[in-house]
Amino acid sequence: MADYDYSVLLTQLGAEHHNRSPKSAAVHEEACRHLIDGGSHGIRLIEPFPPRITEATGGWMVDEDGHRILDLWQGHMANILGHNPQVVTTALSRAFAGGFGTQSGLVDALQAELAALVCRLTSSERIRFTTSGSLSTMYAVLMARSFTGRSTVMKAGGGWHGAQPMLLKGVAYREDGVGFEGVDSKGLPSALTDRIVVTSYNDPQRLVDDFNRGGDDMACLILEPMLGAGGTIAATTEYLRLARDLCTKHGALLILDEMITGFRFHAGGLGALHGVAPDLAIYGKALGGGMPVAAVAGRAEIMAEAGRATGPRVAFSGGTYSAHPSSMLAAKVFLEHLAGHESEIYPKLGTLGEAMRTGCEAAFAEAGILARCTGAVDEIDCGSSMVTVHFPHDQRVSLDTPEAVFDPDRCDIELREKVFGLALLVEDVHLILAHGAASTAHTDEDVAFLTDACRRAAARIARQR
């Protein structure tokens, strides 16, 4: 494996970014006086400093320095129609003008309408809204434990289920031989993660072995149908169906975390396209059409764990801003739009995603650098808008597990996570940790813009290696 030293290139890129973005640099410096690292979400804070955005429409955004930047990060991959889609902004503007939208702590008809819509689109029986995916996965795990009377929870290494304490294990890959078995935050009492078993994603034999070892004390298995932070790796149909069968056989619940995948491949969950019905599912990101809303949805008898009928057993309180009227309205008009235009939206997203993946790979190949994009879902015929760019050391590296994409012996992690993003940012393209997604607001011209930017970045990287 070639071990490249990118320090000179990173310094040059940082200086170039600073020279062309003095206003963002100044805002960042000021921000660091009061905000940890200058912001409120770690991964948005691209080093040495992120572009400070003043405006975002569709596939593009403008920063403090007046750069027009192609945005493929698209709100943590939440945006299906791009930033500020008119269908949502028009509905919100009308509502605000009519005195509806920022009242909170009340109940209204809107959340009932949205609940019915999401349940119909996702084949769920009951739903409760929250304000984040982290809260939703936390409540889902509590309900699974309460419903089954069991305590062990299984997740896959590389799976990110938000910053809720119980699942902050097995997220980051550690090179000291620990792999995905480590705990991912300081300050966590070990009692919170002791009963979390970490299995290997897309490894059917390991799943069978893990269930054989501890299946009868398993409350639930929580899985993303496509790993997001874990490398944008699609689960195979075989793996998801096996997960379903093993959960059923052992009396454990299957929780599908559809935060990224929900409404991104069709107007519903990705699990359904694999023919896999979860007991509970988590939705968010795209669900809100740009507004903060997430949800736990699933079988009525499990969701009843949060209800009054037998006493409030799981403290699924939702939170002060849960089912916020602006979010409910945005989600409703957005989902109605997705469902009503499914046959136009999803093929377009799939075509753009495929073009982005092949464009990036080809641009790097021209410079003699091997790049491989994950994000495709090979076994189902829905196309995929997702992309993460990897730099394997060798053609033979198979990028179907998070172990492969985070192992420095198999992939160039520094190039993917530090150099690539900055090299594209100075070309006015924004991705984070090489992750991106197409939206319907993107065009073939945008794909060409991305490909050209990759071509220049690749040439520059090749010159320095």
Ligand X SMILES: Cc1ncc(COP(=O)(O)O)c(C=O)c1O
The reply to whether 160 sits near ligand X by the rule CB under 6 A is yes
**Residue 17 or 155: which CB sits closer to ligand X?**
155
User: Quick one: which H or E segment has residue 361?
Assistant: helix 342-366
Residues 75-114 that bind ligand X (CB under 6 A): 76
The reply to whether 269 sits near ligand X by the rule CB under 6 A is no
Name which of 318, 316, 268, 315 is nearest 293 in CA terms: 318
Are 321 and 310 a contacting pair, CB within 8 Å? Answer: no
Residue 216 gets which letter from DSSP?
A: G
**Residue 134 or 148: which CB sits closer to ligand X?**
134
Rounded CA separation 460/367 (Å): 9
Among 234, 242, 256, 259, binds ligand X (CB under 6 A): 259
The reply to whether 230 sits near ligand X by the rule CB under 6 A is no
Binding piece for ligand X, criterion CB under 6 A, among 79-87, 154-162, 188-196, 395-403: 154-162
Shortest spacing between CB 437 and ligand X, in angstroms: 12
Q: Give the position of tokens 């309408």.
A: 113
The reply to whether 388 sits near ligand X by the rule CB under 6 A is no
The reply to whether 260 sits near ligand X by the rule CB under 6 A is yes
Binding piece for ligand X, criterion CB under 6 A, among 56-64, 157-165, 176-184, 444-452: 157-165
Shortest spacing between CB 263 and ligand X, in angstroms: 13
SS3 state of residue 302 = helix
Among 38, 157, 158, 162, binds ligand X (CB under 6 A): 162
Residue 144: which residues within 8 A CB-CB, separation 6 or more? 153, 219, 220, 252, 253, 255, 279, 280, 302
Binding piece for ligand X, criterion CB under 6 A, among 128-136, 145-153, 267-275, 328-336: 128-136
Cα 450 to chain center, whole Å?
21
Rounded CA separation 88/83 (Å): 10
Shortest spacing between CB 337 and ligand X, in angstroms: 21
Shortest spacing between CB 78 and ligand X, in angstroms: 9
Among 24, 74, 122, 132, binds ligand X (CB under 6 A): 132
Are 390 and 411 a contacting pair, CB within 8 Å? Answer: yes
Cα 152 to chain center, whole Å?
25
Among 161, 169, 337, 455, binds ligand X (CB under 6 A): 161
Residue 214: which residues within 8 A CB-CB, separation 6 or more? 152, 154, 197
Shortest spacing between CB 448 and ligand X, in angstroms: 29
Task: Name the phi and psi angles at 380, rounded to 5.
Answer: -120, 150
The reply to whether 440 sits near ligand X by the rule CB under 6 A is no
Among 74, 111, 134, 326, binds ligand X (CB under 6 A): 134
The reply to whether 228 sits near ligand X by the rule CB under 6 A is yes
Residues 292-311 that bind ligand X (CB under 6 A): 294
Helical H runs in 68-201?
Answer: 74-77, 86-97, 109-122, 133-148, 190-193
Residues 354-383 that bind ligand X (CB under 6 A): none
Binding piece for ligand X, criterion CB under 6 A, among 127-135, 178-186, 272-280, 313-321: 127-135
* Token representation of residue 239: 């793996």
Are 141 and 153 a contacting pair, CB within 8 Å? Answer: yes
State the DSSP string of 302-338: HHGGGSSTT---S-----TTTT-HHHHHHHHHHHHHH
Looking at the DSSP bridge assignments, the partners of residue 126 are 298
Binding piece for ligand X, criterion CB under 6 A, among 158-166, 231-239, 358-366, 434-442: 158-166
Are 191 and 213 a contacting pair, CB within 8 Å? Answer: no
Instruction: Write out the residues near ligand X by the rule CB under 6 A.
Output: 76, 132-134, 137, 160-162, 224, 228, 257, 259-260, 284, 294
